[in-house]
Structure 1
Amino acid sequence: MELLFNGLLLLVFGIVTWCVASEGAWGAGIILLCVVFSGLLAMNFFEPLAIGLDGMLPAGYADIVALCLLFTGFVSLLRVATEWIAPIDIELPAPVYQAGRWGFAVITGYVTMAFLLTALHTAPLPREFAGFKPERKNLLNMAAPDRQWLGFTQYVSEHALRNSVAGRRRVFDGLELRRFGRPNDTLWAAFPIRYATRRELISGAASSSSSGNTLSAGGGSSGGGSSSGPPKRGTGM
Protein backbone atom coordinates (compact mmCIF):
# COMPACT_ATOMS: atom_id res chain seq x y z
CA MET A 1 0.00 0.00 0.00
CA GLU A 2 2.86 2.36 0.75
CA LEU A 3 4.25 1.72 -2.74
CA LEU A 4 0.86 2.51 -4.27
CA PHE A 5 0.58 5.71 -2.24
CA ASN A 6 4.03 6.89 -3.35
CA GLY A 7 3.14 5.96 -6.93
CA LEU A 8 0.02 8.13 -6.83
CA LEU A 9 2.01 11.08 -5.47
CA LEU A 10 4.60 10.71 -8.23
CA LEU A 11 1.81 10.36 -10.81
CA VAL A 12 0.28 13.68 -9.70
CA PHE A 13 3.73 15.27 -9.80
CA GLY A 14 4.46 13.90 -13.27
CA ILE A 15 1.12 14.82 -14.85
CA VAL A 16 1.14 18.39 -13.50
CA THR A 17 4.80 18.87 -14.51
CA TRP A 18 4.16 17.66 -18.06
CA CYS A 19 1.01 19.75 -18.52
CA VAL A 20 2.60 22.93 -17.15
CA ALA A 21 5.77 22.47 -19.23
CA SER A 22 3.62 22.40 -22.38
CA GLU A 23 2.65 26.03 -21.66
CA GLY A 24 6.17 27.29 -22.40
CA ALA A 25 8.48 29.21 -20.09
CA TRP A 26 6.29 32.32 -19.76
CA GLY A 27 3.09 30.36 -19.27
CA ALA A 28 4.70 27.93 -16.82
CA GLY A 29 5.97 30.82 -14.70
CA ILE A 30 2.50 32.38 -14.58
CA ILE A 31 0.88 29.05 -13.67
CA LEU A 32 3.41 28.57 -10.86
CA LEU A 33 2.43 31.93 -9.35
CA CYS A 34 -1.27 31.08 -9.74
CA VAL A 35 -0.82 27.74 -7.99
CA VAL A 36 1.23 29.18 -5.10
CA PHE A 37 -1.17 32.09 -4.46
CA SER A 38 -4.20 29.80 -4.82
CA GLY A 39 -2.77 27.39 -2.29
CA LEU A 40 -2.10 30.16 0.22
CA LEU A 41 -5.57 31.64 -0.23
CA ALA A 42 -7.22 28.24 0.11
CA MET A 43 -5.29 27.46 3.29
CA ASN A 44 -6.39 30.73 4.88
CA PHE A 45 -10.08 30.63 3.92
CA PHE A 46 -11.07 26.96 3.85
CA GLU A 47 -12.25 26.74 7.47
CA PRO A 48 -15.00 29.42 7.17
CA LEU A 49 -16.23 27.70 3.99
CA ALA A 50 -16.06 24.28 5.69
CA ILE A 51 -18.27 25.58 8.51
CA GLY A 52 -20.85 26.60 5.91
CA LEU A 53 -20.63 23.18 4.19
CA ASP A 54 -20.94 21.17 7.41
CA GLY A 55 -24.69 20.68 7.13
CA MET A 56 -24.65 19.88 3.40
CA LEU A 57 -22.04 17.09 3.36
CA PRO A 58 -21.52 13.84 5.26
CA ALA A 59 -19.68 14.30 8.56
CA GLY A 60 -15.96 14.87 8.16
CA TYR A 61 -15.96 15.78 4.45
CA ALA A 62 -16.39 19.55 4.70
CA ASP A 63 -12.72 20.42 5.29
CA ILE A 64 -11.20 18.54 2.37
CA VAL A 65 -14.02 19.57 0.02
CA ALA A 66 -13.59 23.22 1.03
CA LEU A 67 -9.80 23.07 0.58
CA CYS A 68 -9.93 21.47 -2.87
CA LEU A 69 -12.86 23.61 -4.00
CA LEU A 70 -11.11 26.85 -3.07
CA PHE A 71 -7.80 25.71 -4.57
CA THR A 72 -9.28 24.75 -7.96
CA GLY A 73 -11.50 27.84 -7.96
CA PHE A 74 -8.65 30.24 -7.23
CA VAL A 75 -6.35 28.56 -9.78
CA SER A 76 -9.04 28.83 -12.48
CA LEU A 77 -9.86 32.44 -11.58
CA LEU A 78 -6.23 33.57 -11.49
CA ARG A 79 -5.44 31.72 -14.72
CA VAL A 80 -8.31 33.44 -16.57
CA ALA A 81 -7.33 36.80 -15.08
CA THR A 82 -3.67 36.49 -16.10
CA GLU A 83 -4.60 35.42 -19.63
CA TRP A 84 -6.86 38.45 -19.91
CA ILE A 85 -4.31 40.88 -18.43
CA ALA A 86 -1.23 39.55 -20.26
CA PRO A 87 -2.28 37.50 -23.31
CA ILE A 88 1.27 37.39 -24.69
CA ASP A 89 4.22 35.06 -24.81
CA ILE A 90 7.76 36.37 -24.50
CA GLU A 91 10.25 34.91 -26.96
CA LEU A 92 13.35 33.57 -25.23
CA PRO A 93 16.59 31.90 -26.34
CA ALA A 94 16.18 28.13 -26.62
CA PRO A 95 18.31 27.19 -23.56
CA VAL A 96 16.53 29.74 -21.36
CA TYR A 97 13.15 28.63 -22.73
CA GLN A 98 13.78 24.95 -21.98
CA ALA A 99 15.27 25.59 -18.54
CA GLY A 100 12.46 28.01 -17.67
CA ARG A 101 9.55 25.83 -18.72
CA TRP A 102 10.85 22.66 -17.10
CA GLY A 103 12.09 24.43 -13.99
CA PHE A 104 8.78 26.21 -13.38
CA ALA A 105 6.86 23.04 -14.27
CA VAL A 106 8.78 20.88 -11.77
CA ILE A 107 8.20 23.40 -8.97
CA THR A 108 4.50 23.66 -9.88
CA GLY A 109 4.16 19.87 -9.86
CA TYR A 110 5.83 19.64 -6.47
CA VAL A 111 3.72 22.44 -4.96
CA THR A 112 0.51 20.84 -6.28
CA MET A 113 1.51 17.47 -4.87
CA ALA A 114 2.41 19.10 -1.53
CA PHE A 115 -0.94 20.89 -1.34
CA LEU A 116 -2.94 17.74 -2.13
CA LEU A 117 -0.92 15.78 0.42
CA THR A 118 -1.70 18.48 2.98
CA ALA A 119 -5.39 18.26 2.06
CA LEU A 120 -5.29 14.53 2.84
CA HIS A 121 -4.71 15.44 6.49
CA THR A 122 -8.28 16.81 6.57
CA ALA A 123 -9.90 13.76 4.94
CA PRO A 124 -12.30 11.60 7.01
CA LEU A 125 -9.94 8.62 6.94
CA PRO A 126 -8.14 6.68 9.69
CA ARG A 127 -5.20 8.36 11.37
CA GLU A 128 -2.86 6.19 9.25
CA PHE A 129 -3.93 4.76 5.91
CA ALA A 130 -2.36 3.33 2.74
CA GLY A 131 1.14 4.12 3.95
CA PHE A 132 0.24 7.68 4.97
CA LYS A 133 1.36 8.71 8.46
CA PRO A 134 1.26 12.32 9.68
CA GLU A 135 4.66 12.05 11.40
CA ARG A 136 6.67 10.41 8.61
CA LYS A 137 8.15 11.62 5.35
CA ASN A 138 5.34 10.57 3.08
CA LEU A 139 7.18 10.88 -0.24
CA LEU A 140 9.37 7.80 -0.67
CA ASN A 141 10.31 8.16 3.01
CA MET A 142 12.73 10.87 1.84
CA ALA A 143 10.73 14.13 1.85
CA ALA A 144 7.67 15.58 3.59
CA PRO A 145 6.00 17.86 1.00
CA ASP A 146 2.99 18.40 3.28
CA ARG A 147 5.09 19.71 6.17
CA GLN A 148 7.17 21.78 3.75
CA TRP A 149 3.99 23.40 2.42
CA LEU A 150 2.72 24.03 5.95
CA GLY A 151 6.09 25.57 6.84
CA PHE A 152 5.92 27.83 3.78
CA THR A 153 2.35 28.88 4.64
CA GLN A 154 3.42 29.61 8.20
CA TYR A 155 6.47 31.59 7.03
CA VAL A 156 4.41 33.74 4.66
CA SER A 157 1.73 34.49 7.26
CA GLU A 158 4.37 35.18 9.91
CA HIS A 159 6.08 37.88 7.85
CA ALA A 160 3.13 39.29 5.92
CA LEU A 161 1.02 39.76 9.05
CA ARG A 162 3.74 41.13 11.30
CA ASN A 163 2.77 44.27 13.21
CA SER A 164 5.57 46.73 12.50
CA VAL A 165 4.66 48.93 15.49
CA ALA A 166 4.31 46.35 18.26
CA GLY A 167 6.70 43.87 16.69
CA ARG A 168 4.10 41.11 16.98
CA ARG A 169 3.41 38.47 14.40
CA ARG A 170 0.60 36.17 13.43
CA VAL A 171 1.22 32.70 12.13
CA PHE A 172 -0.94 30.22 10.27
CA ASP A 173 -2.18 27.59 12.70
CA GLY A 174 1.04 27.65 14.73
CA LEU A 175 1.97 26.83 18.30
CA GLU A 176 4.43 29.36 19.71
CA LEU A 177 6.84 28.10 22.37
CA ARG A 178 8.65 30.59 24.60
CA ARG A 179 11.66 30.06 26.84
CA PHE A 180 12.25 32.29 29.85
CA GLY A 181 11.23 35.61 28.35
CA ARG A 182 12.59 34.92 24.86
CA PRO A 183 9.53 35.51 22.64
CA ASN A 184 8.99 33.87 19.27
CA ASP A 185 11.56 31.23 20.06
CA THR A 186 10.09 28.19 18.32
CA LEU A 187 7.06 27.65 16.12
CA TRP A 188 5.35 24.33 15.48
CA ALA A 189 2.55 23.77 12.97
CA ALA A 190 -0.58 22.63 14.82
CA PHE A 191 -2.30 21.56 11.58
CA PRO A 192 -1.05 17.93 11.34
CA ILE A 193 -1.44 17.36 15.10
CA ARG A 194 -4.99 18.70 15.13
CA TYR A 195 -6.20 16.75 12.11
CA ALA A 196 -4.39 13.52 13.05
CA THR A 197 -6.20 13.59 16.39
CA ARG A 198 -9.48 14.42 14.67
CA ARG A 199 -9.12 11.51 12.22
CA GLU A 200 -8.31 9.20 15.11
CA LEU A 201 -11.45 10.32 16.96
CA ILE A 202 -13.62 9.98 13.84
CA SER A 203 -12.34 6.47 13.07
CA GLY A 204 -12.77 5.55 16.75
CA ALA A 205 -16.35 6.81 16.76
CA ALA A 206 -17.09 4.89 13.54
CA SER A 207 -15.58 1.73 15.00
CA SER A 208 -17.63 2.09 18.21
CA SER A 209 -20.77 2.66 16.18
CA SER A 210 -20.08 -0.42 14.06
CA SER A 211 -19.47 -2.55 17.16
CA GLY A 212 -22.67 -1.25 18.73
CA ASN A 213 -24.70 -2.10 15.64
CA THR A 214 -23.26 -5.61 15.61
CA LEU A 215 -24.15 -6.14 19.28
CA SER A 216 -27.67 -4.81 18.72
CA ALA A 217 -28.17 -7.11 15.74
CA GLY A 218 -27.03 -10.05 17.84
CA GLY A 219 -29.33 -9.20 20.73
CA GLY A 220 -26.58 -7.68 22.90
CA SER A 221 -26.59 -4.60 25.08
CA SER A 222 -28.81 -1.74 23.96
CA GLY A 223 -26.18 0.87 24.83
CA GLY A 224 -23.81 -0.07 22.00
CA GLY A 225 -23.65 2.60 19.30
CA SER A 226 -22.27 6.06 19.79
CA SER A 227 -25.00 8.67 19.47
CA SER A 228 -22.74 11.70 19.53
CA GLY A 229 -21.34 11.25 16.01
CA PRO A 230 -17.90 12.38 14.85
CA PRO A 231 -16.23 15.21 16.73
CA LYS A 232 -16.58 18.76 15.51
CA ARG A 233 -13.80 20.71 13.84
CA GLY A 234 -10.94 21.56 16.14
CA THR A 235 -11.81 19.11 18.94
CA GLY A 236 -8.41 17.49 18.50
CA MET A 237 -6.65 20.48 20.06
Structure 2
Amino acid sequence: MSATTAMIGSEAKLLARNPGVVIWTVFLPVVASIVVASIPAAREPVDDFGGLSVFQVYQPILVLFVVAMLAVQALPDVLTRYREMGILKRLRTTPASPSLLLIAQFVLTSAVSIICLALIVVVPGIISGQWPQHPVGFIVSYLLTGWAFLGLGMVIASLFRNAKVAAGFGTLVFFVLMFFAGLWVPRATMPGWLHLTSNLTPSGAGTQALVDTATTGWPAIGYFGTLLVWGAVTTAIAIRTFKWE
Protein backbone atom coordinates (compact mmCIF):
# COMPACT_ATOMS: atom_id res chain seq x y z
CA MET A 1 0.00 0.00 0.00
CA SER A 2 1.42 3.40 -0.97
CA ALA A 3 1.78 6.25 1.51
CA THR A 4 -0.90 8.22 -0.31
CA THR A 5 -3.38 5.36 -0.17
CA ALA A 6 -2.63 4.79 3.50
CA MET A 7 -3.17 8.47 4.27
CA ILE A 8 -6.48 8.53 2.40
CA GLY A 9 -7.59 5.42 4.28
CA SER A 10 -6.60 6.94 7.61
CA GLU A 11 -8.45 10.18 6.93
CA ALA A 12 -11.49 8.24 5.71
CA LYS A 13 -11.60 6.32 9.00
CA LEU A 14 -11.43 9.56 10.98
CA LEU A 15 -14.24 10.98 8.85
CA ALA A 16 -16.34 7.86 9.44
CA ARG A 17 -16.01 8.30 13.20
CA ASN A 18 -17.44 11.81 13.00
CA PRO A 19 -19.80 11.85 10.01
CA GLY A 20 -22.13 14.56 11.33
CA VAL A 21 -20.90 17.35 9.06
CA VAL A 22 -21.01 15.14 5.97
CA ILE A 23 -24.48 13.80 6.76
CA TRP A 24 -25.86 17.30 7.29
CA THR A 25 -24.12 18.61 4.19
CA VAL A 26 -25.50 15.81 2.01
CA PHE A 27 -28.93 15.34 3.59
CA LEU A 28 -30.33 18.85 3.27
CA PRO A 29 -29.65 19.53 -0.45
CA VAL A 30 -30.55 15.99 -1.53
CA VAL A 31 -33.90 16.13 0.27
CA ALA A 32 -34.54 19.65 -1.04
CA SER A 33 -33.86 18.57 -4.63
CA ILE A 34 -36.18 15.56 -4.27
CA VAL A 35 -38.97 17.70 -2.81
CA VAL A 36 -38.69 20.33 -5.56
CA ALA A 37 -38.58 17.68 -8.29
CA SER A 38 -41.70 16.06 -6.83
CA ILE A 39 -43.81 19.21 -7.23
CA PRO A 40 -45.30 19.39 -10.76
CA ALA A 41 -45.59 23.19 -10.66
CA ALA A 42 -41.86 23.46 -9.87
CA ARG A 43 -41.11 21.76 -13.19
CA GLU A 44 -43.09 24.28 -15.25
CA PRO A 45 -41.33 27.20 -17.02
CA VAL A 46 -41.41 30.53 -15.20
CA ASP A 47 -41.18 33.75 -17.21
CA ASP A 48 -39.35 35.59 -14.42
CA PHE A 49 -36.64 32.90 -14.53
CA GLY A 50 -36.03 33.31 -18.24
CA GLY A 51 -38.29 30.40 -19.15
CA LEU A 52 -36.61 28.00 -16.74
CA SER A 53 -38.48 26.08 -14.09
CA VAL A 54 -37.88 26.41 -10.35
CA PHE A 55 -36.26 22.97 -10.43
CA GLN A 56 -33.90 23.93 -13.26
CA VAL A 57 -32.87 27.10 -11.43
CA TYR A 58 -32.27 25.58 -8.02
CA GLN A 59 -30.82 22.16 -8.81
CA PRO A 60 -27.40 23.63 -9.77
CA ILE A 61 -27.49 25.87 -6.69
CA LEU A 62 -28.06 22.84 -4.46
CA VAL A 63 -25.13 21.10 -6.14
CA LEU A 64 -22.90 24.08 -5.37
CA PHE A 65 -24.30 24.27 -1.83
CA VAL A 66 -22.71 20.90 -1.11
CA VAL A 67 -19.37 21.76 -2.69
CA ALA A 68 -19.20 25.10 -0.86
CA MET A 69 -20.01 23.52 2.51
CA LEU A 70 -17.29 20.93 2.08
CA ALA A 71 -14.67 23.19 0.47
CA VAL A 72 -14.84 26.50 2.34
CA GLN A 73 -16.19 25.30 5.69
CA ALA A 74 -15.28 21.67 6.40
CA LEU A 75 -11.85 21.58 4.71
CA PRO A 76 -10.36 24.70 6.38
CA ASP A 77 -11.73 23.58 9.74
CA VAL A 78 -9.99 20.20 9.49
CA LEU A 79 -6.65 21.60 8.32
CA THR A 80 -6.49 24.43 10.87
CA ARG A 81 -7.38 22.01 13.67
CA TYR A 82 -4.59 19.71 12.56
CA ARG A 83 -2.23 22.69 12.62
CA GLU A 84 -3.38 23.73 16.11
CA MET A 85 -2.92 20.18 17.42
CA GLY A 86 0.59 19.95 15.96
CA ILE A 87 -0.33 17.11 13.62
CA LEU A 88 1.06 18.86 10.56
CA LYS A 89 4.32 19.57 12.35
CA ARG A 90 4.70 15.92 13.39
CA LEU A 91 3.96 14.73 9.86
CA ARG A 92 7.07 16.52 8.65
CA THR A 93 9.22 14.02 10.58
CA THR A 94 7.57 10.97 9.01
CA PRO A 95 7.58 9.49 5.50
CA ALA A 96 3.98 10.70 5.22
CA SER A 97 4.64 14.32 4.33
CA PRO A 98 2.05 17.03 5.01
CA SER A 99 1.42 17.25 1.26
CA LEU A 100 -0.07 13.75 1.44
CA LEU A 101 -2.58 15.04 3.96
CA LEU A 102 -3.66 17.73 1.50
CA ILE A 103 -4.03 15.13 -1.23
CA ALA A 104 -6.05 12.89 1.09
CA GLN A 105 -8.37 15.74 2.09
CA PHE A 106 -8.77 16.77 -1.55
CA VAL A 107 -9.66 13.20 -2.58
CA LEU A 108 -12.13 12.69 0.28
CA THR A 109 -13.82 16.05 -0.22
CA SER A 110 -14.13 15.40 -3.94
CA ALA A 111 -15.48 11.88 -3.39
CA VAL A 112 -18.19 13.02 -0.98
CA SER A 113 -19.24 15.89 -3.24
CA ILE A 114 -19.38 13.63 -6.31
CA ILE A 115 -21.58 11.13 -4.47
CA CYS A 116 -23.89 13.96 -3.47
CA LEU A 117 -23.89 15.28 -7.04
CA ALA A 118 -25.05 11.88 -8.25
CA LEU A 119 -27.87 11.82 -5.69
CA ILE A 120 -29.01 15.36 -6.52
CA VAL A 121 -29.07 14.59 -10.25
CA VAL A 122 -30.14 10.94 -10.42
CA VAL A 123 -32.92 10.73 -7.81
CA PRO A 124 -34.78 13.88 -8.96
CA GLY A 125 -34.13 12.80 -12.56
CA ILE A 126 -35.95 9.53 -11.94
CA ILE A 127 -38.82 11.40 -10.30
CA SER A 128 -39.19 14.24 -12.80
CA GLY A 129 -37.67 12.79 -15.95
CA GLN A 130 -35.49 15.89 -16.31
CA TRP A 131 -31.82 15.12 -16.97
CA PRO A 132 -28.88 17.35 -17.96
CA GLN A 133 -29.05 17.97 -21.71
CA HIS A 134 -25.25 17.96 -22.01
CA PRO A 135 -23.93 15.45 -19.41
CA VAL A 136 -20.26 15.90 -20.34
CA GLY A 137 -20.51 19.68 -20.11
CA PHE A 138 -22.37 19.35 -16.81
CA ILE A 139 -19.58 17.22 -15.33
CA VAL A 140 -16.85 19.54 -16.65
CA SER A 141 -18.68 22.54 -15.19
CA TYR A 142 -18.97 20.78 -11.87
CA LEU A 143 -15.29 19.78 -11.75
CA LEU A 144 -14.07 23.28 -12.60
CA THR A 145 -16.36 24.83 -9.99
CA GLY A 146 -15.23 22.29 -7.42
CA TRP A 147 -11.59 23.13 -8.18
CA ALA A 148 -12.26 26.85 -7.69
CA PHE A 149 -14.11 26.23 -4.40
CA LEU A 150 -11.43 23.88 -3.06
CA GLY A 151 -8.81 26.48 -3.95
CA LEU A 152 -10.71 29.03 -1.87
CA GLY A 153 -10.89 26.56 1.00
CA MET A 154 -7.14 26.00 0.85
CA VAL A 155 -6.51 29.75 0.88
CA ILE A 156 -8.67 30.10 4.00
CA ALA A 157 -6.74 27.27 5.66
CA SER A 158 -3.51 29.04 4.68
CA LEU A 159 -4.45 32.47 6.03
CA PHE A 160 -5.76 31.49 9.46
CA ARG A 161 -4.07 29.45 12.17
CA ASN A 162 -7.01 29.44 14.57
CA ALA A 163 -9.72 26.91 13.71
CA LYS A 164 -12.55 29.05 15.08
CA VAL A 165 -11.46 32.08 13.08
CA ALA A 166 -11.06 29.96 9.95
CA ALA A 167 -14.52 28.47 10.47
CA GLY A 168 -16.05 31.92 10.93
CA PHE A 169 -14.40 33.31 7.81
CA GLY A 170 -15.33 30.17 5.89
CA THR A 171 -18.96 30.69 6.86
CA LEU A 172 -18.81 34.27 5.59
CA VAL A 173 -17.31 33.11 2.28
CA PHE A 174 -19.98 30.39 2.04
CA PHE A 175 -22.82 32.92 2.30
CA VAL A 176 -21.18 35.22 -0.24
CA LEU A 177 -20.77 32.33 -2.67
CA MET A 178 -24.37 31.24 -2.21
CA PHE A 179 -25.65 34.78 -2.69
CA PHE A 180 -23.90 35.14 -6.04
CA ALA A 181 -25.04 31.63 -6.98
CA GLY A 182 -28.62 32.89 -6.66
CA LEU A 183 -29.77 31.05 -3.55
CA TRP A 184 -31.77 33.99 -2.18
CA VAL A 185 -32.08 36.17 -5.28
CA PRO A 186 -32.24 34.08 -8.48
CA ARG A 187 -29.62 35.24 -10.96
CA ALA A 188 -32.26 35.80 -13.65
CA THR A 189 -33.90 38.48 -11.46
CA MET A 190 -30.68 40.26 -10.43
CA PRO A 191 -30.09 43.84 -11.67
CA GLY A 192 -27.67 44.08 -14.58
CA TRP A 193 -24.67 45.24 -12.53
CA LEU A 194 -25.22 42.55 -9.90
CA HIS A 195 -25.65 39.86 -12.53
CA LEU A 196 -22.36 40.91 -14.14
CA THR A 197 -20.62 40.83 -10.76
CA SER A 198 -22.04 37.37 -10.15
CA ASN A 199 -20.62 36.18 -13.48
CA LEU A 200 -17.13 37.08 -12.25
CA THR A 201 -17.41 34.94 -9.11
CA PRO A 202 -16.81 31.17 -9.06
CA SER A 203 -20.31 30.47 -7.75
CA GLY A 204 -22.05 32.70 -10.30
CA ALA A 205 -20.05 31.35 -13.23
CA GLY A 206 -20.41 27.80 -11.94
CA THR A 207 -24.16 28.10 -11.51
CA GLN A 208 -24.66 29.49 -15.01
CA ALA A 209 -22.41 26.83 -16.55
CA LEU A 210 -24.41 24.10 -14.80
CA VAL A 211 -27.73 25.68 -15.80
CA ASP A 212 -26.65 25.98 -19.44
CA THR A 213 -25.43 22.38 -19.67
CA ALA A 214 -28.50 21.11 -17.86
CA THR A 215 -31.02 22.93 -20.04
CA THR A 216 -29.48 23.70 -23.44
CA GLY A 217 -25.93 22.70 -24.28
CA TRP A 218 -22.30 23.75 -23.91
CA PRO A 219 -22.00 26.98 -21.86
CA ALA A 220 -20.31 30.17 -22.97
CA ILE A 221 -16.54 29.76 -22.80
CA GLY A 222 -16.32 32.83 -20.57
CA TYR A 223 -17.79 30.94 -17.63
CA PHE A 224 -15.16 28.22 -17.96
CA GLY A 225 -12.51 30.92 -18.21
CA THR A 226 -13.68 32.50 -14.96
CA LEU A 227 -13.60 29.15 -13.17
CA LEU A 228 -10.15 28.31 -14.54
CA VAL A 229 -8.76 31.64 -13.35
CA TRP A 230 -10.24 31.25 -9.87
CA GLY A 231 -9.00 27.68 -9.60
CA ALA A 232 -5.48 28.44 -10.81
CA VAL A 233 -5.02 31.63 -8.78
CA THR A 234 -6.38 30.27 -5.49
CA THR A 235 -4.39 27.06 -5.83
CA ALA A 236 -1.19 29.01 -6.48
CA ILE A 237 -1.85 31.30 -3.49
CA ALA A 238 -2.58 28.33 -1.23
CA ILE A 239 0.61 26.53 -2.26
CA ARG A 240 2.76 29.61 -1.65
CA THR A 241 1.20 30.63 1.67
CA PHE A 242 0.28 27.37 3.38
CA LYS A 243 2.19 26.88 6.63
CA TRP A 244 2.55 23.59 8.44
CA GLU A 245 3.09 25.08 11.90
Q: Could you say whether these structures have the same fold, taking a TM-score greater than 0.5 normalized by the shorter chain as the test?
A: no
Name the structure with the higher helix share: 2
Q: With structure 1 as the length reference, what TM-score do the two structures score?
A: 0.30
Which structure: larger Rg? 1
- How high is the TM-score relative to the length of structure 2? 0.30
More strand by share: 1
